[in-house]
Amino acid sequence: MEHLLGHLSHYLAGTAACRLIQSSAWMIPAFQTVHILAISVIFSSAILLNLRVLGLVERDAPLAQAANRFLPALWTTVPLAVATGVLMIVGEPRRALMNESFHLKMLLLLIALAATALTRRTVRAGGGGRALAVLSMLVWAGVIFAGRWIAYSQPG
Amino acid sequence: MNQLITLIEESAIATSVREGDLLFPLIETLHILAVSLVFGSIMVVDLRLLGAASRARPVSRLTASILPVTWVAFVVAIGAGGLMFISKAHKYLENGYFDAKLVLIAAAGLNMMVFHLLTARDIATWDTGAPPLGARIAGGLSMALWISVITCGRLIGFTMPVG
Given CB atoms, is B41 within the 8 Å cutoff of chain A?
yes
**Residue A70: per-residue pLDDT:** 96
Q: Give the residue among A114, A131, A31, A148 at the shortest CA–CA distance from B33.
A: A148
A31, A25 Cβ separation under 8 angstroms = no
Cα gap A119→A130, rounded to integer Å: 10
Domain count, chain A: 1
Q: Which of B36, B50, B160 is the best residue to mutate to test the A interface, defined by the most A CB atoms within 10 Å of its own CB?
A: B36
Q: Is residue A94 part of a domain?
A: yes
Q: Give the residue among A77, A4, A78 at the shortest CA–CA distance from A93.
A: A4
Which residue range forms the structural domain that includes residue A30?
2-150
* B121-151 pLDDT per residue, tens: 999 999 998 999 999 999 999 999 999 999 9
A119, A50 Cβ separation under 8 angstroms = yes
In A13-32, the residues whose Cβ lies within 8 Å of chain B are: 29, 32
What proportions of chain A, in percent to the nearest 5, are helix, strand and coil? 80, 0, 20
Given CB atoms, is A51 within the 8 Å cutoff of chain B?
yes
pLDDT-above-90 percentage for chain A: 91
Q: Is residue A8 part of a domain?
A: yes
Given CB atoms, is A36 within the 8 Å cutoff of chain B?
yes
Q: Is residue A155 part of a domain?
A: no
Higher-confidence residue: B163 or B28? B28
Q: Is residue A144 part of a domain?
A: yes
**Residue B162: per-residue pLDDT:** 54
| Facing residue for A141 by CB, picked from B33, B61, B147 | B33
**Residue A125: per-residue pLDDT:** 87
Cα gap A109→A87, rounded to integer Å: 18
Spell out a b/e string for B112-146, using b for 16 or more CB atoms within 10 Å of the CB, else e: beebeeebbeebeebeeeebbebbbbbbebbbebb
Q: Is residue A141 part of a domain?
A: yes
Q: Which of B24, B26, B44, B156 is the best residue to mutate to test the A interface, defined by the most A CB atoms within 10 Å of its own CB?
A: B44
Beta-carbon separation of B36 and A40 below 8 A: yes
Q: Is residue A156 part of a domain?
A: no
Cα gap B75→B57, rounded to integer Å: 26
Which ipTM did the prediction report? 0.94
* B76-107 pLDDT per residue, tens: 999 999 999 999 999 999 999 999 999 999 99
CA angle B148, B42, B125 (to 5 degrees): 120
Beta-carbon separation of A44 and B37 below 8 A: yes
Beta-carbon separation of B33 and A57 below 8 A: no
**Residue A142: per-residue pLDDT:** 98
| Facing residue for A57 by CB, picked from B43, B53, B66 | B66
A72, A104 Cβ separation under 8 angstroms = no
Q: Is residue A30 part of a domain?
A: yes
Q: Is residue A17 part of a domain?
A: yes
